[in-house]
Amino acid sequence: DGDDSRRYAPVDTVCPSCSVGCGLRYSDRTGGAVGREGAPVNPEGRLCPKGIEAFDGLDENRLTTPLVREDGELVPASWEEALGRVERELGGLVDAHGPDSLAFLGAPRCTNEENYLFGKLARMLGTNNVDNRARICHRSAVTATTRRFGCGAMTNTLEDISEADAFLVVGSNPAAQQPIAFDSYVRPAVNDGATLVHVDPRANRTTRAADVHLAARPGTDALLVNLLVAELLELDAVDREFVEARTTGFEAFVDSFEAFDADAGAERTGVDREKIRRVARAIGDADGTAVIVGTGAEAPDHRGTETVDALLNLLLLTGNVGRRGAGMNVLRGLNNEQGANDVGARPTTLPGFDPVDDSEARERVAAEWGADPPTDPGLSELEAVRAFGDDVRGAYVLGENPAVTRMETQFVARKFETLDFLVVQDIAPSETVEHADVVLPGSAWAEKGGTVTNLDRQVQRMRAAASPPDSARRDIDVVRELGQRLTGTTFAAETPEGVFKELTRVNPLYAGMSYAGLESGSQRWPFPEGATEGVGVLHRDRFMNGEKRAPLLPIRETDDAEGGETDVGDSPSGLVVLTRTRLNEGRSGPDDGDAPELLVHPDDAAARGIRDDGRVVLDGAERVDAVASLSAEVREGTVFLDAEWADRLLAGRESRTVDVRTADPNSDSDPKSTSTSTS
């Protein structure tokens, strides 16, 4: 059952491996993916290693038959038996405890059509308890940007940000994580003289392309951006015309910086003040500055919302909103993170980001569904998991592994055990599947048709290159059938195109799109009915919330007073664990039995008797044994570990600081040397 047994059709489809959305197809010649020249994103048709390997391993370890739990064991079952059980159990919970006793956890890897039907199913049953992982990963950026601009999506396009004169990249390593976007749209601009500033505690692939590296201490990104803003105010590098026409609160904003102690702040960040001034001058001199942020700046324990708020202030102050070569550009990770949110797989908004209590949006949806959606916002995924076994008694998980992909791994795993009923639809066994009462084998990306929406709001067609193996089914067909059974209606059209048509009727941002229009290219939202093309730069004359002006938010005292090493928690002897993502995803994971690599600064290593390639032990929520790799590119006091391992290490902990010690028996260091200060 290896890869060789499978044949794929060479259809034009979209890379599933990140949010950039490069076009690709299967090639018999290479036995793998090749890029599509002329594709909407990256028309040169290049692929990064993750894209080239997109078809690899799709047949490995698949779930190919439905499973139901009998006497504590998951045993093979017919589709009729499995779907019948889901219908009875979920329906029974609605009857006994009301619709809010269910939670629907959708997937940023699934198509727009699948996520749309998933949200529709939850709402037709009477609950807004539907969410997807993208909301967790990008909560800070989306929350902060929506609050100010009425929309959390990337304000600009990959193409137009290449016109920026300065790039401020914060908490993101796009050269490794979104390599084609970086190499096609950012690097050429930098080669042409644009200034690239990289804010990250560790030097990495992006830093190597940067003009300035600001290695701020973990937890001080917001403070660092406020220091930049203070310098911009001092330089009077303010776009007064823009501030006058498009912002509110300028006076109060300036006043809030009066007591701001820049010297003390710079010291807390660990970044030389002269270097900060240099960056402020570059931004002040630039015709356009584009901000690029990733999850590193956003993670809640890194004071993410404050960081994004500070960056939005910087952009508004310098007039870098609503124009080409500028803007707030959130680099989403998974391929359809944007789309899952666009189509309403979230507890607070209907398709098109209208709040669940918006009467116009509710009417639009009700006319299509023949049922009123519930008015009260639902539970977010984290809230729902916390309520498992209590208010929430049953859950439907689609294409996700929430038992390990959230920060509080052990807690979440325990909560899954408290559910009355869990149905998991996925392609491979997982930790979440282990807790399931019914398992429904679904389709991998290459086995489904539909649309996905990339990071700069381009909707593209994904086309099936093969059928799901054995008795596995297409995800959309499974959701449709459960929708029919649970709602007693026809629920949805037979084809992804029919579902997309319905989506364009309920989501005004997609209103003018069609499969015909997507046949050979992409369509970008907002794409109103009758339009011939979508809108590239958002917020040009008005913000998406209809307002002409957005507020400049005064800095709070805490931005300064607490802006120090807040992330360094309860142990002065430990090191701060940060996560990293590598270019090639073929790395080891916690289930592979290989020890992960731990990047550690040579001085921190020496203080602990840790040698390059030596064994180390990290004592966190779980013990992790790793192999040390000494690197002067890592900021002292921090270590870097792959995300999967860091999740396990930090599960349920407030602090990211953990004790790190050598496990090398030949080490000449006293193990107690772990109590060395990290300063």
Q: Is the peptide bond before 526 cis (omega within 30 degrees of 0)?
A: yes
The residue among 467 and 584 lying less far from ligand SF4, judged by its C-beta, is 584
Choices 11-19, 120-128, 414-422, 545-553 (CB under 6 A): range interacting with ligand SF4: 11-19
The residue among 303 and 461 lying less far from ligand SF4, judged by its C-beta, is 461
- Print the binding letters for residues 41-80 with ligand SF4: x by CB under 6 A, - otherwise: ------xx-xx-----------------------------
With CB under 6 A as the contact rule, the residue among 8, 13, 20, 289 that binds ligand SF4 is 20
| Residue 504 found at the interface with ligand SF4 (CB under 6 A) | no
With CB under 6 A as the contact rule, the residue among 13, 17, 338, 425 that binds ligand SF4 is 17
User: Sheet of 166-170: strands edge to edge?
Assistant: 212-214, 195-199, 166-170, 289-293, 327-330
Burial of 236 (0-12, 13-18, 19+ CB in 10 A): exposed
State the minimum distance, in angstroms, from the CB of residue 182 to ligand SF4: 8
| Residue 508 found at the interface with ligand SF4 (CB under 6 A) | no
- Judged by phi (left if over 0) then psi (alpha if -120 to 50, else beta), residue 530 lies in left
State the minimum distance, in angstroms, from the CB of residue 288 to ligand SF4: 24
State the minimum distance, in angstroms, from the CB of residue 215 to ligand SF4: 26
| Residue 425 found at the interface with ligand SF4 (CB under 6 A) | no
State the minimum distance, in angstroms, from the CB of residue 344 to ligand SF4: 24
| Residue 21 found at the interface with ligand SF4 (CB under 6 A) | yes
State the minimum distance, in angstroms, from the CB of residue 351 to ligand SF4: 25
Element holding 292 (H helix, E strand): strand 289-293
The conformation of residue 446, written as its DSSP 8-state character, comes to G
| Residue 23 found at the interface with ligand SF4 (CB under 6 A) | no
| Residue 459 found at the interface with ligand SF4 (CB under 6 A) | no
State the minimum distance, in angstroms, from the CB of residue 41 to ligand SF4: 7
Burial of 146 (0-12, 13-18, 19+ CB in 10 A): middle
Contacts of 469 (CB under 8 A, 6+ apart): 6, 59, 62, 64
Find the binding residues for ligand SF4 in span 158-187 (CB under 6 A): 178-180
Rg (CA), the chain: 25
The residue among 20 and 568 lying less far from ligand SF4, judged by its C-beta, is 20
Choices 19-27, 165-173, 301-309, 369-377 (CB under 6 A): range interacting with ligand SF4: 19-27
State the minimum distance, in angstroms, from the CB of residue 15 to ligand SF4: 3
b/e sequence 635-655, b meaning 16+ C-beta within 10 Å: bbbbbbbbbbbbbbbbbebeb
Choices 20-28, 418-426, 562-570, 612-620 (CB under 6 A): range interacting with ligand SF4: 20-28
State the minimum distance, in angstroms, from the CB of residue 222 to ligand SF4: 29
The residue among 36 and 323 lying less far from ligand SF4, judged by its C-beta, is 36
SS3 category, 361: helix
- Residue showing tokens 């290896």: 2
The conformation of residue 621, written as its DSSP 8-state character, comes to S
The residue among 48 and 621 lying less far from ligand SF4, judged by its C-beta, is 48
Burial of 6 (0-12, 13-18, 19+ CB in 10 A): middle
| Residue 266 found at the interface with ligand SF4 (CB under 6 A) | no
With CB under 6 A as the contact rule, the residue among 13, 18, 351, 596 that binds ligand SF4 is 18
State the minimum distance, in angstroms, from the CB of residue 642 to ligand SF4: 17
Which residue spans within 92-246 are E strands per DSSP?
Answer: 102-106, 130-132, 166-170, 195-199, 212-214
Comparing CA positions, the residue from 306, 302, 332, 309 lying closest to residue 407 is 302
| Residue 15 found at the interface with ligand SF4 (CB under 6 A) | yes
Q: Which residue's beta carbon is nearest to the bound ligand SF4?
A: 51
User: Please, are residues 296 and 200 in contact by the beta-carbon 8 Å criterion?
Assistant: yes
29 to 35, 157, 445, 563, 614: CA distances (angstroms): 13, 34, 21, 55, 42
Burial of 71 (0-12, 13-18, 19+ CB in 10 A): exposed
User: Please, are residues 561 and 616 in contact by the beta-carbon 8 Å criterion?
Assistant: no
The residue among 296 and 574 lying less far from ligand SF4, judged by its C-beta, is 296
State the minimum distance, in angstroms, from the CB of residue 236 to ligand SF4: 40
Binding site for ligand SF4 (CB under 6 A): 15, 17-18, 20-22, 47-48, 50-51, 178-180
